[in-house]
Structure 1
Amino acid sequence: MASHPFFTGLSSPRILAHRGLVTDEMREEGIVENSVAAITAAHAAGAQIIESDCHLTSDGVVVLFHDDTLERVTGDPRAIADVTLAELERIMATRGGLATLAQALDGFPESRFNIDVKAAAAADPAGAIVADYSDRVLLTSFSDARRRRALAAARRAGGAPATSAGASVILRLLLATRVLPLPALARRVLRGVDALQVPEKRGPIRIVTPAVIRAAHACGVEVHVWTINELEEMRRLLGMGVDGIVTDVADQALHAM
């Protein structure tokens, strides 16, 4: 299977704590996803991999945040790109604490981080930051161009993090396993990729199929499925041969698995 150092020593199946862990009790206290408190809770529950996302503040700091704006999480309609680090720290102070990418990597040295680059402006600085932590970081993005840009920045800084395919690579793999099922074509599509992180299906299109899992494994690529919160669904997918589950309930998944 995957040979990148990111995967060395990890338990199987992989349980990825989606945006950290926010329990019902934490939610009642106002704690939100991707916060320092959420990462701390995931680590305390035994999650080895924290799945998170990054954006760039107006003053050029890479922060862990999923949405383009603050509205859903904090009620503030502004975009992350229009807010300074100091402003964001004040806003997040009562919501579990702001996590910058650099602080998370430094503050949780035992954790691996699956970082989704959400904004083009964050690609270069995020890549440069993770370079020194390459054995603990898996970089991804829906945009393969953005993902490759972040990887290139990491390599310029002397690092080589693991990476998960973006949407265009996944589409090409689906074509390679359905329309023209040639192993050599799948290998070419997945060259340089360490993991596929995908939903089980997108609309009517089923992405996680036995053929896709076989093709990925033949290329030494892991398959992680998001976002699965029902234990029976986790067991069914693991029974199909997937390697990892991205979940909001990492504590329950770790206990059950």
Structure 2
Amino acid sequence: MGAFAGAVDVGAHAIETDVHLSKDGVVVLSHDATLKRCYGRPDKIIDCSWDYLSSLRTLKEPRSPMPRLQDLLEYLASPGLEDIWLMLDIKLDNNADDIMRLIASTIRAVPPSPMRAWSKRIVLGCWATKFLPLCDEYIPGFPVSHIGFSTAYARQFFNVPNVSFNMLLPILMGPCGPSFIKKCKRQGREVLAWTVNDEKKMRWCVKRELDGVITDDPKKFLEVCEKYDEDSARREWLPFVFILDIIRVNIFAFLYALLLRWRYGSEVDQRYMKKIRPRIEE
């Protein structure tokens, strides 16, 4: 929780966090599906009870406990934080039905700030289209953002109204990125980039007028925004090593898109599209 509060203290407008389930159905916040890197244990989170998880402390100082989604929502409901919004990165290794149902029950259990409903502050980050019907079933009315590696896979989300995009930065910097960004802007869809920690890449995002970035250093990004000079940015070139990284990541993304299409399908579920068609026509 300290990292979230620290981000807010330096001026972050939003918090992005990954969600996983404990063995007994508690929604916890962890980037990794296992405990190895942060807590030094070999177990998977899904195999551990909340009673056990709550007893752990991180390997690094300040030796923090694992937070729950409930803890973060209670913090965000505090007076003065009404403008801070939250993106939930719902990983594919979760059981889709279970995680969406339990996210919904957790949100219902925490009273929102009287100034702003949770539906105006929480964005559901989905990697695959199979989560869309579950968002509509369990958490209707909440905004959805596609989190992804591939513009080719992401394009099917254009068929669904009000879905924004949170894309890996090298993909937006690659050959298909500019046209994807333009289409998002034409349709009035927000487009964000992750994870952006380098100043040159931050300036690239500002120059392209992206709607936001996911970063581990919000203070640095705010400083880049304050000092941004359009003329200097226009003359700035990306280092060759960045270009090589963009090529490498885009090759990986092509293969990843094929895997996603094979595993989760290449189109939004037609029953779901039929259900939401009246909203599209409005």
State the distance in 2 between where 1:173 and 1:78 align. 33
Q: Does structure 1 residue 142 correspond to structure 2 residue 157?
A: no
Q: Which has the larger radius of gyration?
A: 2
Q: How does 1:163-202 map to 2 (within 5 A)?
A: 163-167=144-148, 170-173=151-154, 189-202=158-171
SS for the counterpart of 2:197 is: coil
Structure 1 gaps of 5+ residues are 1-35, 175-185
Q: Does structure 1 residue 124 correspond to structure 2 residue 101?
A: yes
Give the match for residue 223 of structure 1: 191
Letter in 2 for 1:145: K
1:92 paired residue among 42, 57, 60: 57
Give the match for residue 86 of structure 2: 113
Letter in 1 for 2:2: A
String of CA shifts for 1:107-142, please: whole Å, max 9, x gaps. Answer: 122231110112123222113433661111011122
2:2 paired residue among 14, 37, 40: 37
- TM-score, normalising length: structure 1: 0.71
Q: Does structure 1 residue 50 correspond to structure 2 residue 15?
A: yes
Compared with structure 1, are the counterparts of its residues 103 and 221 closer, same or farther at alpha carbon in structure 2 (3 Å cutoff)? same
- For residue 243 of structure 1, report the CA deviation from its aligned partner: 1.4
State the distance in 2 between where 1:252 and 1:169 align. 27
Q: Percentage identity across aligned positions?
A: 24
Letter in 2 for 1:219: Q
State the distance in 2 between where 1:201 and 1:106 align. 35
Is the 1:173–1:190 contact (alpha carbons within 8 Å) kept by the matching residues of 2? no
Compared with structure 1, are the counterparts of its residues 243 and 207 closer, same or farther at alpha carbon in structure 2 (3 Å cutoff)? farther
Q: How does 1:74-93 map to 2 (within 5 A)?
A: 74-92=39-57
Is the 1:139–1:161 contact (alpha carbons within 8 Å) kept by the matching residues of 2? yes
Quick check: which one's helix share is greater? Answer: 2
Is the 2:122–2:142 contact (alpha carbons within 8 Å) kept by the matching residues of 1? yes
Is the 2:148–2:154 contact (alpha carbons within 8 Å) kept by the matching residues of 1? no
Compared with structure 1, are the counterparts of its residues 106 and 231 closer, same or farther at alpha carbon in structure 2 (3 Å cutoff)? same
Quick check: which one's strand share is greater? Answer: 1
2:138 paired residue among 134, 147, 153: 153
Is the 1:50–1:113 contact (alpha carbons within 8 Å) kept by the matching residues of 2? yes
Question: CA-atom RMSD, angstroms?
Answer: 2.6
Runs of 4+ in 1 over 4 A off after TM superposition: 166-170
Is the 1:144–1:168 contact (alpha carbons within 8 Å) kept by the matching residues of 2? no
Letter in 1 for 2:85: R
SS for the counterpart of 2:25 is: coil
State the distance in 2 between where 1:207 and 1:226 align. 17
State the distance in 2 between where 1:251 and 1:224 align. 17
Name the structure, 1 or 2, with higher relative contact order (CA <8 Å, separation 6+): 1
- For residue 233 of structure 1, report the CA deviation from its aligned partner: 1.1
Structure 2 gaps of 5+ residues are 109-116, 226-282
Deviates more, 1:222-231 or 1:192-201: 192-201
Give the match for residue 11 of structure 1: none
Deviates more, 1:81-90 or 1:131-140: 131-140
1:67 paired residue among 18, 22, 32: 32
Is the 1:172–1:189 contact (alpha carbons within 8 Å) kept by the matching residues of 2? no
- TM-score, normalising length: structure 2: 0.65
Letter in 1 for 2:164: A
Compared with structure 1, are the counterparts of its residues 228 and 61 closer, same or farther at alpha carbon in structure 2 (3 Å cutoff)? same
